[in-house]
Amino acid sequence: MRVLVTGGNGYIGSHTSLALIEAGHDVVIADSFINSKRTVLPRLEAIAGRSIPLHDIDLTDAAATDRLFADGNFDAVIHFAGLKAVGESVQKPIEYYRNNIDSTLSVVEAMKKHGVGKFVFSSSATVYGEKAPVPYREDFEYLQSSNPYGQTKVMIERILTDTAAAASAATTDDETTPEWRIALLRYFNPVGSHPSGTIGEDPQGIPNNLMPYLSQVAVGRRDHLTIFGNDYPTPDGTCQRDYIHVMDLAAGHVAALNHLDKQTDPVRAYNLGTGNGTSVLELVAAFSQAVGHDLPYQFGARRAGDIAANWADPTRANTELGWQATHTIEQMCEDTWRWQSANPTGFPDA
Ligand code: WQD
């Protein structure tokens, strides 16, 4: 299929673009470079062994997005484009709602107008909110996500569900409205890098997330890791999360895309996780093993909004998509370290 990958120059989007190409799909990337560097694409093309068309576009511009679809001849869309820093979203809610919701509305409008009905959405486990029982299952009711970023994911899932429902109920045979088939992929904690070590996670500024912060400590860019709380009700007192290798995540997108023709519900959510919880201290130990020496850390105060533990029930994706996360925590750390040690300051500036 000819697939438009929005945000395809970003961390998960770039790894998924590669997996799509390796699975025989044609990939076109749309990216505004708001959260990724222009030097990612040539590395992607070097791994793929082929050029990959990329449109530098702000998807909140509905007219430009429509023109992209008018010329694009796309069979499907995988939609990653969006701002994704939880903490930043609390400081800049308007920017997050404007960017994440408007860009999605532009894309869905253009899909409807140009008859493209296959859609895979980059959602998040954050839609379950802070009070959901663990492991998370897709049939849980939505709870209030604790931050504007998470709320945009809840709202976008709602937008997509309502759009598909309207088309199914439509009495007028609006000739361009497609038969929607939408997969909502709820990620847990994406980490790791392509085994080549030439592409990986490269957050701009001080990393919010554990793995990139830890790898920057290991490469000497940060003095030490602060572990946000060791008094949680968990075996070692530090928070547990379901870390999933980005290569497994990319494979999950290919599986979901390939399954859309067999998906009976117009919209269906899938957890992409391992089903296992790993604590902060366990991840620090695994990363130290990958690096070959202990890494400096201190315990600090709990971080607002953190919950003690969450992990996925991945049964639905396992059984319906025939997808299973296979990479171990050790492989996640080894692959992250191979990328970070070869690229201490991330991707070069353009
Ligand atoms: C993991 C654990 C921290 C940094 C976030 C988003 C979620 C999703 C994945 C997009 C927590 C601890 C972290 C540090 C630390 N993103 N930590 N020191 O918060 O589980 O999930 O990323 O969909 O929406 O919320 O991931 O990596 O930030 O934190 O001790 O310097 O590591 O307290 O327990 P999180 P994280």
Tens digit of each residue's pLDDT (9 = 90 or more) over 175-210: 677 899 999 999 999 999 999 999 999 999 999 999
State whether the beta carbon of 86 lies less than 6 angstroms from ligand 1.
Answer: yes
Q: What is the pLDDT of residue 142?
A: 66
Lowest mean pLDDT among 89-103, 157-171, 221-235: 157-171
pLDDT, mean of residues 290-310: 96
Q: Sorting pLDDT into bands at 50, 70 and 90, what band is 310?
A: very high
State whether the beta carbon of 210 lies less than 6 angstroms from ligand 1.
Answer: yes
Atom 22 (ligand 1) nearest CA: 189
For tokens 């290991």, what's the residue?
Answer: 218
What's the gap in Å between 255 CA and the centre of ligand 1? 26
Question: Has this prediction a pTM greater than 0.85?
Answer: yes
Please check the confidence at residue 145 and state whether its pLDDT lies above 90.
no
Please check the confidence at residue 251 and state whether its pLDDT lies above 90.
yes
State whether the beta carbon of 226 lies less than 6 angstroms from ligand 1.
Answer: yes
- 149 is annotated as an active-site residue: yes
State whether the beta carbon of 189 lies less than 6 angstroms from ligand 1.
Answer: yes
Q: What is the pLDDT of residue 175?
A: 66
Please check the confidence at residue 171 and state whether its pLDDT lies above 90.
no
Q: Sorting pLDDT into bands at 50, 70 and 90, what band is 165?
A: very high
Q: What is the pLDDT of residue 181?
A: 98
Angstrom distance (rounded) from CA 168 to CA 154: 21
What number does the ligand 1 atom closest to the CA of 126 have?
24
